[in-house]
Amino acid sequence: MPSHLQGQPFLGAHAKSRDYIFATRDRYDESYDMVRAARDKRYIYSELLPEKPYL
């Protein structure tokens, strides 16, 4: 992986186990769902942000 890129592999031989996963859905393509999420092995926390405008 180039040194100027950030992140960790989640698939393949170099993948590492993680305690938490953070996810987002925002202004991707033509969709504007403002959602944030965090997950561990036991819980999933997901938050819809309806107060955020569709800009």
Per-residue pLDDT tens digits for 25-53:
777 666 666 788 899 989 988 887 666 65
* Whole-number pLDDT of residue 3: 85
pTM above 0.75, yes or no: no
Is 37 inside any structural domain? yes
Q: What are phi and psi of 38, to 5 degrees?
A: -140, 145
Indicate the pLDDT class of residue 4, thresholds 50, 70 and 90: very high
**Is 24 within 8 Å of 47 (Cβ atoms)?**
no
Domains of the chain: total: 1
Q: How confident is the model at residue 14 (pLDDT cuts 50, 70, 90)?
A: confident
33, burial (CB in 10 Å: exposed 0-12, middle 13-18, buried 19+): middle
Asked whether residue 27 is assigned to any structural domain, the reply reads yes
Measured CA to CA, the distance from residue 12 to residue 25 in angstroms comes to: 24
The two three-digit tokens of residue 32, written as one number: 């504007």
Residue at 45 is within a domain = yes
* 44: containing domain: 16-55
Quickly list H helices, the chain.
Answer: none
pLDDT at 6 over 70: yes
